[in-house]
Amino acid sequence: ELHRKSQMRADFVNDENSTGFHNPREASRMLLQAVDMAKTGQIKLIEIANANGINDFKTSNLGFEDMQKFNPGELYYNAKMLTGHKAGERYYGDEIEVNGNPPKELLEHDKNLAPYNYQVIDKK
């Protein structure tokens, strides 16, 4: 159930163009929530596996910083476009937060999720 909900959030960000394109912070929030749900689902699977004598069960340990490696970074036009944009212009123009680095508080929050640091997370 948690993996399904996690995938639904990731699919929504990818499929609903306006979310990722026009609201990158909300997209980041949903993706971080998806990662948290997936990790919680993995923990539950380990608990079930251990309860049933399956002891070689392994999970991934990828976090938000690992996923940022796939972020293409700033996008620029590489040729003059019919829309009036010139080569070298930033693709998103005035939308500074698009394809930039995620907010530092999200990265800090992610570090406290794996392993789960209840003293920090539960305080919020």
> Is the per-residue pLDDT at 80 higher than 80?
no
- pLDDT of amino acid 33: 92
Domains of the chain, by residue range, sit at 2-94
Q: What confidence tens digit (pLDDT) does each residue in 2-12 have?
A: 989 998 988 88
Q: What confidence tens digit (pLDDT) does each residue in 6-61 have?
A: 989 888 888 776 666 677 788 888 889 999 998 899 889 888 988 999 887 766 66
Percentage of the chain with pLDDT > 90? 8
State the DSSP string of 45-85: HHHHHHHTT----------HHHHHTT---S-B-SS--TTS-
Phi, psi angles (nearest 5°) of residue 76: -130, 150
